[in-house]
Amino acid sequence: MVKEMRKVAAQCLLMHDVDKKIAGVRMLARQWANQEINLDSSEAIENINQPGRPEQPRLVRANKMPRRGFGTVAGRAIMMHAIAHIEFNAINLALDAVCRFTNMPEAYYNDWLQVAAEEAYHFELIRAHLRHLGADYGDYEAHGGLWEMCEKTAHDVLARMALVPRVLEARGLDVTPGIQKKLAQAGDDNAVSILDIILRDEIGHVAIGNHWFRYCCEKRGMESVATFTELLAEYYPKGLMGPYNMVAREQAGFSRREMDLLMRMPTS
C-alpha cells in the first residue's frame, strides 16, 4: 500500500469516479492529519497531463455553454452545475499542486491538501443542492478552461501560485456576491448560504496562493509585484475580467500595490 502523501494525491488526481475521488481525498487528508502517511518532497512524480474525470459532463468551449438564467429552477440548476464543475476542477488543481512540485516546505503540501479537502466539501454541498433542484453533476455541458491554466503553469510552481489561486480562484471572489444577489432575488436562500461557505473558504485558498507566490519570489530574489505584472502580461495580454471584489481580495492578502495594479489593467 502506498504510504507517501504526494503519490496518494497523484492516485486521487487520476481517479475518474467522482465519489471515489472525494472519498480518496478525505482519506488522504485524514491519514495525513493522523500522521499515518509520510511525505517525500524530493521525488519527482510522473507528470499527469490530464486528471481523472467522469465521462459526463461533456466538455465544450466556454462560448458554447448553455445560458444560466435564475428565474427558473432549470436555469438555477444550470448555474449550480457550472459551480459544481468549478469545484470539481478545483479539487484536481489542488491535488496537482501537491503532487507535481518538488522540494517545497512541508507546510506547502499541507496547505494544498487542505485546499483539496475543502474543495471536495464544496463540491458535495453544491451537488446536494443540485439534486434538490432535480439535476445532478454531469447532466449539463461544462468547459475545461481551469485545467488549461494548470497545464500552462506545470513547469513552474511560482507561475502556478501566481496564476491559479491569485487569478482564477480570485475571480471567484469577484463574481460570487453578484451570483448570490440573483439567487436571493429568485428565493434560493439555500444556495446563497452554500455560497457564503464557499466564499469564506476561497478567501483562505487565495491567501494560501498569495503566501506561496511570495515565498517563491523571495527564494529567487524576485520582487513580487513586478513578477506578477510580467506574468499577467505574458499569460493575459488582453487583461483580466473585472470588476474586482476588493474587500475579499484584501482579506485574502492582496497588497494595496497589487490592487492598484489590477485597477489600472485593461479588462477583457
CA distance 39 to 16: 24
Number of Cβ atoms within 10 Å of the Cβ of 245? 20
Residue 66 confidence (pLDDT) above 90: no
Cell of 40: 517525500
Residue 179 confidence (pLDDT) above 70: yes
Q: Enumerate long-range contacts of 201-205, CB under 8 Å, 24 or more apart.
A: 201/118, 201/122, 202/169, 202/172, 202/173, 202/176, 203/173, 203/248, 203/251, 203/252, 204/118, 204/252, 205/115, 205/118, 205/119, 205/165, 205/169
The sign of the CA dihedral 253, 256, 257, 258 is positive
According to the model, what pLDDT value does residue 263 have?
A: 82
**Mean pLDDT (whole number) for 228-252:** 90
More confident call, 143 vs 195: 195
Crossing angle of the two packed helices 106-132 and 189-220, in degrees rounded to 10: 160
Residue 34 confidence (pLDDT) above 80: yes
The answer to whether the CB of 252 falls within 8 A of the CB of 203 is: yes
Q: Residue 33: pLDDT band by 50, 70, 90 thresholds?
A: very high
According to the model, what pLDDT value does residue 267 have?
A: 66
Nearest to 175 by CA among 35, 44, 79, 256: 79
List the Cα angle 227/231/232 in 5-degree steps: 115
Residue 249 confidence (pLDDT) above 70: yes
Q: Residue 225: pLDDT band by 50, 70, 90 thresholds?
A: very high
**Mean pLDDT (whole number) for 99-110:** 97
CA distance 19 to 47: 23
Q: Helix (H, G, I), strand (E, B), or coil: what is residue 244?
A: coil
- N-to-C CA span, the chain: 48
More confident call, 49 vs 256: 256
Query: Which of 198-233 are b and which e, b meaning 16 or more Cβ less than 10 Å from the residue's Cβ?
Result: bbebbbbbbbbbbbbbbbbbeeeeeebeebbeebbe
Residue 67 confidence (pLDDT) above 70: no
Residue 100 confidence (pLDDT) above 90: yes
According to the model, what pLDDT value does residue 265 have?
A: 74
CA distances from 137 to 22, 99, 100, 143, 202 (A): 14, 26, 27, 13, 21
